[in-house]
């Protein structure tokens, strides 16, 4: 499932190619994504208008359009956004093709259809964004602010990281890697963390996400960037998917436990 580094990788790939380009037509496939605006809405707010440079909030991609509408895209579990020469070949599971001026198609493909492609009229802030927490790289995110969010709450730290309503964009893979790097047990109740531990967690969150963006994201199952290439950060994963392998720090076997229905990989000896 694409997380912040994968969405940022896609954003960076698309921005120089799409900014300022006009949308000529929008074609919808036979099957819709679970959340997809109607062809008439895309037509009304997109056709003939220029795209501004895409932005990212958490795991959402946002394209502002000339005239003030906003296209919001979420890749769900298996969504891909690709830029292909127009006319793009007929591929399976394509739900939307945005035909751009200059001979390019922006193609949204999603085998499992958990993705979203929604257009919002000018002056309508996309409602899904109201649930998105602060960006991990924001100056407004500090160890005291995190401690404040955790006050009086006993939920496990891993679940807190995955939630997205406090810190945006972190999913299962990066939560595991961040907790390992910070040396904190994924089941620690958040109200038990010291300010020093929040500081370490924040530092490692930023370091891990930055490293992953630099490597073009992580490809474990499906992720491809806008040019159809895999990421490389999977080569640097230290605990995720490594149950039973020796911890790279101490040699103890990496352990898996299930939290909120998701697998957590951690080192029981380094992460107390
Ligand atoms: Zn270890």
Domain chopping of the chain, boundaries: 4-131, 143-266
Query: So what's the pLDDT on residue 162?
Result: 96
Query: Do 89 and 14 contact (CB within 8 A), yes or no?
Result: no
> Alpha helices of 27-142 — where are they, by DSSP H?
39-46
268 Cα to the center of ligand 1, angstroms: 7
Q: Is 3 a catalytic residue?
A: yes
**Dist. CA 246–CA 264, nearest whole Å:** 16
Q: Is 158 a catalytic residue?
A: no
Q: Is 135 a catalytic residue?
A: no
96-114 pLDDT tens trace: 999 999 999 999 999 999 9
How far, CA to CA in Å, does 93 sit from each of 30, 81, 115, 117, 245? 9, 12, 12, 14, 36
Reduced to 3 states (helix: H, G, I; strand: E, B; else coil), residue 43 is helix
Query: So what's the pLDDT on residue 30?
Result: 86
250 Cα to the center of ligand 1, angstroms: 4
Beta strand spans in 101-248 (E): 104-110, 116-120
Query: So what's the pLDDT on residue 104?
Result: 96
Give this prediction's pTM. 0.96
Residues of the chain with pLDDT under 50: none
Closest to 262 measured CA to CA, from 124, 134, 159: 159
Class of domain 143-266: mainly alpha
Reduced to 3 states (helix: H, G, I; strand: E, B; else coil), residue 8 is helix
Q: Is 262 a catalytic residue?
A: yes
172 Cα to the center of ligand 1, angstroms: 19
Q: What is the DSSP secondary structure assignment for residue 246, as one 8-state letter? A: B
Q: What is the DSSP secondary structure assignment for residue 156, as one 8-state letter? A: B
Cα–Cα–Cα angle for 145, 269, 191, rounded to 5 degrees: 25
Closest to 78 measured CA to CA, from 54, 94, 62, 100: 94
- Beta strands at 79-85 and 104-110: parallel, antiparallel or unpaired: antiparallel
Torsion angle of alpha carbons 188, 194, 199, 205, nearest 10°? 10
**Dist. CA 67–CA 65, nearest whole Å:** 6
Strand partners, 257: 264
249 Cα to the center of ligand 1, angstroms: 5
178 Cα to the center of ligand 1, angstroms: 14
Domain 4-131 has CATH 3.20.190.10: yes
Query: Do 181 and 202 contact (CB within 8 A), yes or no?
Result: no
Query: So what's the pLDDT on residue 100?
Result: 97
Query: So what's the pLDDT on residue 1?
Result: 86
Q: Which of 3, 6, 177, 204 is catalytic?
A: 3
72 Cα to the center of ligand 1, angstroms: 41
Q: Which of 11, 59, 113, 200 is catalytic?
A: 59
Query: Do 162 and 172 contact (CB within 8 A), yes or no?
Result: yes
């Amino acid at each position: 499932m694409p997380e912040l580094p994968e969405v940022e990788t896609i954003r960076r790939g698309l921005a120089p190619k799409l900014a300022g380009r006009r949308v000529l037509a929008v074609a919808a496939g036979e099957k819709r994504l679970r959340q997809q605006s109607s062809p008439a809405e895309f037509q009304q707010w997109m056709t003939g208008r220029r795209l501004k440079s895409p932005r990212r909030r958490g795991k959402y991609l946002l394209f502002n359009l000339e005239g003030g509408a906003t296209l919001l895209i979420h890749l769900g579990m298996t969504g891909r956004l690709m830029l292909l020469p127009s006319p793009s070949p007929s591929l399976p599971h394509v739900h939307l093709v945005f035909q751009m001026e200059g001979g390019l198609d922006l193609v949204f493909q999603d085998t499992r259809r958990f993705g979203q492609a929604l257009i919002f009229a000018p002056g309508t802030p996309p409602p899904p964004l109201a649930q998105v927490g602060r960006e991990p790289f924001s100056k407004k995110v500090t160890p005291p602010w995190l401690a404040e969010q955790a006050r009086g709450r006993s939920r496990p730290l891993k679940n807190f990281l995955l939630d997205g309503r406090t810190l945006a964009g972190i999913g299962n893979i990066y939560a595991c890697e961040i907790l390992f790097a910070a040396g904190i047990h994924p089941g620690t109740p958040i109200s038990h963390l010291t300010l020093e531990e929040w500081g370490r967690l924040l530092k490692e969150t930023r370091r891990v996400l930055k490293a992953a963006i630099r490597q073009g994201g992580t490809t474990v199952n499906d992720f491809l960037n806008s040019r159809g290439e895999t990421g490389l950060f999977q080569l640097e994963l230290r605990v995720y998917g490594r149950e039973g392998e020796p911890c790279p720090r101490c040699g103890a076997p990496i352990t898996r436990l299930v939290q909120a229905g998701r697998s957590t990989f951690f080192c029981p000896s380094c992460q107390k």
